[in-house]
Structures are given as structure tokens and as C-alpha cells.
Amino acid sequence: MARDDKVSVGHKHTTSDIRGGRFPAGMLPSTIIPSIEATQAEAASKSQVVFSDLAASGTDFSDGDVWYQRVAGIIIAQWEFTSGAWAARTLDSAVIANLDASKITTGTLPIARGGTGATSAADALTALGAAPTTHAHTTAQVAGLDAALAGKALTTHTHVKSQITDLPVVDMAISGGSLVQRDGSGRVKFTGPSAADDGATKGYVDSANTSGSSRYTYGPTSGTYARSVGASYYAVYMDGGYEFGRNVSSRRYKDRVKPAALDVAAVLSLEPVTFHRKVVGDSDARDLGLIAEDSTQVPHLVIWDTERDQDGQPVPGAVPRPEAVRYETVLPVALLAVVKAQAVQIAALTTRLDALELPR
């Protein structure tokens, strides 16, 4: 017979239910009631544990209650009720530090943990049988490489001239569009120059050094500095910096001009000498001139220079020393001063002689 006041199979009772509530007090021995109350008090102090297929939810819980979400019997998430709300909880790494890695069937692990007993990536690669980061292969270990290289030349190889099909003609003869080949003596041949920047052959240079027929010799007849024989021309000089220039005397090119006070006696003290020049193959040629070191008494007559290296640059710390005598410019002018002085002396002597020869 059904009852209207039935309760669900899973239900709870309080002591009020026992004492005069749903159960009359006489139904239970009075001695068991304290035990029931103690058990209920202890149960109330315990945390509630919930297993559900759903994520944690609801607020009718106490701090410390735990909720596990599981799928097909496997726990996939955990929450703890704290301060009136559910907070997700994760397992500390210390809990699974000794977990057998072989039991992990999904997910990924760092390569350093990939081999049995491995504590580094290198050990893991070794345990797994993998090749090191830096390694080498033979051609046989590269699939298809031997077949691809069959009949091919090595990276380092040589060719003879006959194997190069588009090589320009190499010839010792003079021909356009060909490479120049030296003869047995190391000489090369090419045509004479026609443009200003062409190379000169020996024959061209030899003909250019012929006196009276070249712009490079006295009396040039053609070229930039050409002058007809007998016409006026400039003398070309080289300064101390080994640069060429022409010598001019117009007042337009001079300033601070003043009379030269030359010591006639100093000019007359110059000692002409003959000498041999210290040049290879010309030791028998005798020359006439002055010694620069013995001619410094005449101002501007001696050119001074310092010791120079093989490139023509002054040697640091070198002291200036006599280098050359300016025969073509200073010496004639100095001698002109001597001539003028002698002319004055001759005029005075002539006057005295004329006075001596007058009849008394």
C-alpha cells in the first residue's frame, strides 16, 4: 500500500526528525541518539566530493568541497569550492615526477625526456637512435645521388684548351679580337699606336727619339707642343716634384722684382772641371761642368734636394744637400753681371788711357 509521506531512497535525517519528528521517540532506543548526533556532526565537518560528467557549478557547497569531471570514467578536470566559488585545480609536477612515461599514450613530451633514462636532448637522440645535428653521409647513403652524378665532372677539375669551345683565338701574331700569347722570349707583339691612349711599340718609340723628326726631341715638327724648325719655342723644365712645365720670363708671371746684387768675385771663383758620369755603359764619356758642392757661393745657382727612397719620396729626417747646377738659367745671368762689371772697368781704363795719350 503506497504512502503519501514516503521519502526518496537517498535522504537525510536530523535529530529533530528523530525526536518527535518523522520517527516517534519510542521507535529508537534513547541510547543510540547521541551516537547518531555525533556521527551527523562528524559528517558535517567533512568535505563533499562530487563526480560528474559536467564541469563544476552551483553555490550550495562548503569551502573544501571537491568536484571531479570525468568522461568515460577518466578524470579530465578538478575544481575546489573556495570562498563561495569553484576554482580549477591542477596536479603539481612533483606528483607525477616518477610517472612511467611509457604509460603516456597521447600528447607530447620535450625531446630531453624522449629516451629511456635521457636527461638531455643529446642523450635522448642517442637513445632513440637518431643522427646527431652535425653528421655526414656518403653518396651511397643519399638515394638517387650516384645515378644523378653519373658521367658528371668532379667539383674540382681542369680542362685543356681544346675542351673549351668558345675560347677566343690565342695567337702570337698581330690580329684583332684574339688573346695575346708571349713568344719563347716572353715578348708580345701588337700594332703601332694611333690614339692617344694606345700602347707604343719599340719601333714607334725609336722613331720618336730621332732628332729633328719627333715632337719629343729638339725642334719638334708635330703634336701638341709642335713648333716649326726655326720658330720660337719653350724650354721644358722639371721641378723638384718631378713635374714638367715651361720656363717663362714675362713680368706678368713675376712679383717682388728687385736688382740682383751679385758678387762678381764669387762668380769668378767658380771652378770648371771635367768628369765622368756614374752611369752604366757610359763611363768613358767625359763631360764639362761644375761641382754643385763647390758652387754654393753664387746665390740660386745650386739646386738643393734631400735624400730620396726608391719611389722618389724624401727620406724622413734627411738633411738638404746640393743636387744640381742651374747652368741654363742662373749661370748665364751671373756671368752677365761679370760682363757688365768688366765693361765698367774697361770703360774706366779706356778713359785713363785716353788721358795719358793726350799731347802735353
pLDDT in tens, 143-188: 887 788 787 877 788 888 778 877 766 666 676 667 777 777 778 7
For 283-344, the three-class secondary structure string (H helix, E strand, C coil) is CCCEEEECCHHHCCCCCCCEEEECCECCCCCECCCCCCEEEEECCCCHHHHHHHHHHHHHHH
The least confident of 71-85, 202-216, 339-353 is 202-216
The per-residue pLDDT for 322 is: 92
More confident residue, 85 or 308: 85
- What is the largest distance, in Å, between two alpha-carbon atoms of the chain? 205
- In order of 56, 79, 122, 238, 245, the CA distances from 255 in angstroms are 111, 108, 89, 22, 19
pLDDT at residue 99 is higher than 70: no
Residue 316 lies in a domain: yes
Mean pLDDT of 275-297: 82
pLDDT in tens, 244-267: 787 788 899 899 999 888 888 999
User: What confidence tier does 272 reach under pLDDT thresholds 50, 70, 90?
Assistant: very high
Q: For residue 41, give the amino acid letter.
A: A
Amino acid 132: pLDDT: 73
pLDDT band for position 274 (cuts 50, 70, 90): very high
Residue 198 within any structural domain of the chain: no
Is residue 208 predicted with pLDDT exceeding 70?
Answer: no
More confident residue, 18 or 86: 86
Output the pLDDT for position 44.
Answer: 66
What is the percent of the chain where pLDDT is above 90? 12
| SS3 of residue 123 by DSSP | helix
Q: Choose one of 68, 102, 128: the last residue of a domain.
A: 128
- How high is the pLDDT of residue 2? 43
What's the mean pLDDT in 87-96? 73
Q: For residue 96, what pLDDT band results from cuts at 50, 70 and 90?
A: low
Confidence tier at 222 by pLDDT (50, 70, 90): very low
Q: Per-residue confidence at 293, pLDDT binned at 50, 70, 90?
A: very high
User: 346 pLDDT exceeds 80?
Assistant: yes
**Quick check: is 339 in a domain?**
yes
User: Residue 218 pLDDT more than 50?
Assistant: no
10 burial type by CB count under 10 A (0-12 exposed, 13-18 middle, 19+ buried):
exposed
> Is-contact 48 65, C-beta < 8 A?
yes
User: Is pLDDT of 353 > 50?
Assistant: yes
| Contact yes or no for 292/322 (Cβ under 8 A) | yes
CA 259 vs CA 256, 262, 268: distances in Å: 10, 9, 20
205-219: string of b/e by CB count within 10 Å (b at 16+)?
eeeeeeeeebeeeeb
Lowest-confidence segment of 65-74, 132-141, 284-293, 311-320 by average pLDDT: 132-141
Contact, 96 vs 81, CB < 8 A? no
Closest CA to 325 of 289, 288, 292: 292
Query: What is the pLDDT, as a whole number, of residue 295?
Result: 92
pLDDT of residue 108: 61
pLDDT on residue 255: 92
Residue 222 maps to a domain: no
Mean model confidence pLDDT for the chain: 75
Residue 320 structural domain: 259-360
Residue 223 located in a structural domain: no
Residue 109 lies in a domain: yes
All 3 cell numbers of residue 39? Answer: 556521527
pLDDT of residue 109: 61
Q: Compute how many other C-beta atoms are within 10 angstroms of the C-beta atom of residue 13.
A: 13
Overall number of domains in the chain: 2
In a domain, 107, yes or no: yes
For residue 129, what pLDDT band results from cuts at 50, 70 and 90?
A: confident
Q: Which domain-ending residue is among 128, 150, 176?
A: 128
Q: Which of 5-14, 31-40, 315-324 is predicted least confidently?
A: 5-14
For residue 199, the 8-state DSSP code is: P
In a domain, 13, yes or no: no
Q: Which residue has the cell 734636394?
A: 305
What does DSSP assign to residue 122? H
Query: Would you say residue 283 has pLDDT above 70?
Result: no
Query: What does the pLDDT read at residue 195?
Result: 79
Measured between alpha carbons, how far is 176 from 187 in angstroms, rounded to an integer? Answer: 18
183: which residues sit within 8 A by CB, 6+ positions away? 172, 189
Q: Residue 45's pLDDT is what?
A: 67
Compare 138 and 197 and report the one with higher pLDDT: 138
Q: Would you say 235 and 247 are in contact if contact means Cβ atoms under 8 Å apart?
A: yes
Q: Which of residues 128, 149, 182 is at a domain's end?
A: 128
pLDDT at 107 over 90: no
